[in-house]
């Protein structure tokens, strides 16, 4: 399938203006001139062209600061759209959103098992194409597809070394070829960290650690204002920090990993075991459907179910033990609890703090603040959109 243009013409400067207005909402010619080190007439010319093309709108004058009030410009939020995809090990959420990160079509949630599923990639592509067709939005108006997914990912090359084998081809290029839309992929936890830094509780922070509390436990690290990826691009594997030598067997083949002891899937499995043993709880058995149990367990805990709270408290303490290691290494100012599990962040906070008091040097832990995400489960979808716009000015982005 031919890869469609998103309709932007005129080169790097106009693309950068669109990118900046996406992140900063509204700016003046003078501010854009200073940011890009371009003359005000050059910026004004580019903005006027973008207004004529329908990408930028005037947003009135800035509040008075004593001098002449500058005219502010904002992005036309419906000039283009982004197809954001948030994947975990069991399912994918697909959402078409505008340039203000608001949905313009109903979200589709599809079952898509990644582990030991050789049909996962063609299934994903089929879901994407079907969703686009049902949305009635022209592919030419979709700026790009951003996909967050678990696994060891080389975001530059667009390769997932863990899941969705594209037969040696770049996964992002393969999906782009099959959908006709420029595609970017990245690790789910990295995208959640990007979302928190650009639009969430860690907005504009240069140094922050973001914990992705999903079916697994991930870590996105923002250092010097950018995602820190490490030497091979795989930094942040908090889930495989060993908590014990004789703990539960992890999917990585080792024992005692944080993910094998405290992930939401593990907590759900423990809930099923407790119900079988007759524990008093409002929870009902889901007979191996850990995803349903995990959602019910979080809801039950927030409603005061003592068994659910007990399970989450135990998981929180183990997460806190892992965070103590992270604090000793990174000495972060802030750690954000984000992702699916942010909805029980207040319950997890106390046992995490208890573990930090026990395992962390006070001089280090006292300087780190724990924060609960306001984006929560939406963070990965927003991060997928951010991924597209972060790359909007790149030369390899398809243009008209």
Please give the pLDDT value at position 242: 87
CB burial readout 155-185, b (16+ within 10 A) else e: beebbbeebbebeeebbbbbbbbbbbbbbbb
- pTM for the predicted model, two decimal places: 0.91
Pairing of the two strands 142-149 and 183-187? parallel
Quickly list DSSP for 145-173.
Answer: EEEEESS-EETTTTEESSS---TTS-HHH
**H helices of the chain, where?**
12-24, 29-36, 40-53, 120-135, 171-179, 188-199, 258-262, 264-276, 290-302, 306-330, 345-359, 362-365, 379-390
* Proportion of the chain in helix, strand, coil states, percent, rounded to 5: 45, 20, 35
Of 295, 302, 305, nearest in space to 344 by CA: 302
The angle that helices 290-302 and 306-330 make with each other, rounded to 10 degrees, is 100
Q: What is the pLDDT along the chain (400 residues), one digit of tens a residue?
A: 655 545 455 588 999 999 999 999 899 999 999 999 999 999 999 999 999 999 999 999 887 666 688 899 999 999 999 999 999 988 999 999 999 999 999 999 999 999 889 999 999 999 999 999 999 899 999 999 999 999 999 998 999 999 999 988 999 999 999 999 999 999 999 999 999 999 999 998 899 999 999 888 999 999 999 999 888 888 888 988 888 877 788 877 788 899 999 999 999 999 999 999 999 999 998 887 888 899 999 999 999 999 999 999 999 999 999 999 999 999 999 999 999 999 999 999 999 999 999 999 998 888 899 999 999 999 999 999 999 999 997 744 433 3
Secondary structure (H, E, C), 3-34: CCCCCCCCCHHHHHHHHHHHHHCEEEHHHHHH
**Burial state string for 24-55 with b = 16 or more CB within 10 A and e = fewer than 16:** eeebbbebbbeebebeeeebeebbebbeeeeb
Taking the C-alpha atoms of residue 285 and residue 81, their distance in angstroms, rounded to an integer, is 41
pLDDT of residue 246: 78
What pLDDT, on a 0 to 100 scale, did the predictor assign at position 399?
35
The number of CA neighbours under 13 Å toward the Cβ of 167 is 6
- For residue 281 the two structure tokens come to 């709880």
- Cβ contact 148:87 at 8 Å: yes
pLDDT value at residue 397 = 44
What local confidence, expressed as pLDDT, does residue 8 receive? 56
d(C-alpha 337, C-alpha 202), whole Å: 11
């Amino acid at each position: 399938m031919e890869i469609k243009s998103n309709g932007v013409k005129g080169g790097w400067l106009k693309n950068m203006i669109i990118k900046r207005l996406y992140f900063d909402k509204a700016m003046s010619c003078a501010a854009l001139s200073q940011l890009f080190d371009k003359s005000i007439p050059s910026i004004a010319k580019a903005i006027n062209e973008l207004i004529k093309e329908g990408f930028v709108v005037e947003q009135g004058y800035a509040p008075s600061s004593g001098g002449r009030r500058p005219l502010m410009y904002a992005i036309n939020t419906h000039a283009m759209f982004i197809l954001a995809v948030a994947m975990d090990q069991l399912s994918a959420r697909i959402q078409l959103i505008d340039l203000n990160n608001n949905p313009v079509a109903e979200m589709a949630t599809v079952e898509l098992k990644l582990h030991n599923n050789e049909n996962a990639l063609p299934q994903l592509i089929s879901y994407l194409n079907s969703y686009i067709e049902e949305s009635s939005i022209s592919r030419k108006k979709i700026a790009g597809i951003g996909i967050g997914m678990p696994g060891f990912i080389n975001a530059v090359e667009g390769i997932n070394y863990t899941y969705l084998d594209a037969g040696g081809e770049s996964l992002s290029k393969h999906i782009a070829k099959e959908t006709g839309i420029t595609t970017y992929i990245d690790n789910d936890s990295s995208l959640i960290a990007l979302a928190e830094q650009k639009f969430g509780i860690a907005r504009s922070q240069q140094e922050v650690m973001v914990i992705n509390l999903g079916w697994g436990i991930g870590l996105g690290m923002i250092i010097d204002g950018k995602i820190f990826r490490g030497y091979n691009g795989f930094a942040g594997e908090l889930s495989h920090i060993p908590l014990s030598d004789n703990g539960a067997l992890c999917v990585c083949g080792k024992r005692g990993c944080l993910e094998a002891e405290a992930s939401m899937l593990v907590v759900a499995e423990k809930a099923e075991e407790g119900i079988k043993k007759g524990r008093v709880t409002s929870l009902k058995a889901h007979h191996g459907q850990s995803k349903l149990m995990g959602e019910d367990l979080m809801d039950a805990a927030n409603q005061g179910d003592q068994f659910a709270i007990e399970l989450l408290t135990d998981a929180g303490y183990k997460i806190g033990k892992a965070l103590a290691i992270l604090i000793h290494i990174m000495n972060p100012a802030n750690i954000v609890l984000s992702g699916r599990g942010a909805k029980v962040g207040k319950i997890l906070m106390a046992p995490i703090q208890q573990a930090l008091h026990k395992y962390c040097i006070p001089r280090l832990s006292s300087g780190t603040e724990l924060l609960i995400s306001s984006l929560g489960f939406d963070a990965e979808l927003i991060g997928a959109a951010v991924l597209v716009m972060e790359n909007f000015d790149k030369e390899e982005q398809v243009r008209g």
